[in-house]
Amino acid sequence: MSDNGLGDIRKDFRILSTGLKYFDNAATSLTPDQVMEAMDNYYATFRANVGRGVYRSTRIASEAYEAAHRKVAQFVDASNDVLVFTKNCTEAIGMVINGLRWRKGDKVIITMLEHHSNYAPWIRARKVFGFDLEVVRVGSNGIITGELEKALDDRTRIVSFSHVSNVLGSIAPLEEICKLAHSHGAFVLVDASQSVPHMPMRSTKESYDFMAFSGHKMLGPTGIGALVIRRGLEDEIDPLSVGGGAVKDVSLDEYELAEGWERFEAGTPNIAGAIGLARAAEYLDGIGMQRVRSHEEKLLEEMMSMLSGIEGIKIYGPNDMRVKSGIVSFSVDGLSPHIIASLLDSEYGIAVRSGHMCCYPLMKYVLGKPEGLIRASVYIYNTIKEVDYFISSLRKIIAKMR
C-alpha cells in the first residue's frame, strides 16, 4: 500500500513522473492511462459515427456509446433517469436555462457561492426571458440553507446551486434544499462539478430534478460532461438544437423528437469523450467513492492543521470535515496570491490555483477579497508526503518574502 492509501495508483498517471505536485484538482483532474487507452481504442479499432448505419464498426461504436450513458448514469446513481452527454457542466446548465418554458412572474434563486457558469447565464437569461432573479447571500463559511429558505415562495420556478463550493469546499445539504424547493413546487438544478468526482452520489426521493457535471474534473477528458434529467421531466425542457440523431420522424413541415437522451443530442456527439468518461467512472468505481472521500479527508485534515500553524494565514470555509470537501482556500497577510502561486510553481514544482476562481461575487461581496485567494485542492493521487512538501515550500516562500 502506497503513501496515498489507495494502492499504487500513481503509476497510472504518467504526468506525475515529471515530478509535478498537483493541487489544482478543483479546476481539472489528471487523466489515467486507462482513460486514454479507451479513447485510443475507439479511434484505432472501431472509428465510426453512432446510430447511423448497420456495418460492423458503427454497430460497435453505437453499442459503446450507449453503454457509456449507462455506465456514467450508474456512477451517479441515476440509472432510472435520463443522462444527456454535453460539452461540459456549463453547457448542461445552459440547456436547462434556455430549454425551460418560462412563464410570467417566474422567479429563479441562485446563491453568491456560484461559479460564473451558474451565475452569469442566469443574469443574461433574465434579460431575455423576463423572470425575476434572487441571489441569496451566504456567510463566509458557505452555509446557504437559512437565507435560501427565506427567499423561497410559490413564484419560485427553479433553485440552482452548487452542491460543493469550488472556493470554500463547503458541502450544501442537498436533500434538505431539494425538499424545501419542492414544497413550493420549484425545480432544483444542482451544479455537481465539485461533488461527483469526490463523494458518493445517492439518489433519493427528495433529490434534484436536474444535475450538471463535467468529465474533466473526474479523471475524464475535456469537452465532455453530462446533464441528468429526472425521468418524466424530459418534456419540461426543449432541446437546444434539433437535427440528426435527435428526431424520430420528419415530414414536410413537422418533426417528432426521439425519446430519452437522444432528443437532446442532435448531431455527431463526442464519442471518444463519452467512452473516456465512462472509463473514468469505472476507474473511480474500482477504487470506491467512499474510499476517495475518506482519503481526501485525511489529506485535508493534514493540510488545514499545518496551514493553521503558519502566522499570517487565514483559511476560508468550514472547519468541520463533515461539510467540507477536499478544497482549502487561504490568504497570506500582505502577500499577493498570484506571486505565491507563481513561486510555488517555479521553485518547487507545485501547482495551485490563485485569483478569483471564477467566483467574483463571492470574492467581492462575501469574503472581501477581490484580488482572490490561493486554493489547494486534493484528489486520489495526492499523498500526505506531497501535502507536507507543499506546506514546507510555502513556509520558505513566506519567510523569504517577509
Which positions are annotated as active-site residues? 358
Q: Is 386 helix (H, G, I), strand (E, B) or coil?
A: helix
Phi and psi of 324, rounded to 5°?
-135, 135
Question: Which set of grid coordinates corresponds to residue 226?
Answer: 453530462
Give the residue from 167, 104, 180 showing the smallest Cα distance to 362.
Answer: 167
* Separation of alpha carbons 44 and 149, rounded Å: 53
* Separation of alpha carbons 213 and 228, rounded Å: 9
Phi and psi of 399, rounded to 5°?
-60, -40
Query: What HEC string does 43-100 produce?
Result: HHHCCCCCCCCCCHHHHHHHHHHHHHHHHHHHHCCCCCCEEEEECCHHHHHHHHHHHE
Give the residue from 161, 155, 210, 212 showing the smallest Cα distance to 186.
Answer: 155
The per-residue DSSP string of 266-298 comes to -SS--HHHHHHHHHHHHHHHHH-HHHHHHHHHH
Query: Cell 481526501 appears where?
Result: 296
Phi and psi of 224, rounded to 5°?
-145, 135
How crowded is the C-beta side of 32, counted as CA atoms within 13 Å? 21
* Separation of alpha carbons 245 and 331, rounded Å: 50
Element (H, E) at 179: helix 174-183
The per-residue DSSP string of 353-364 comes to EEE-TT-HHIII
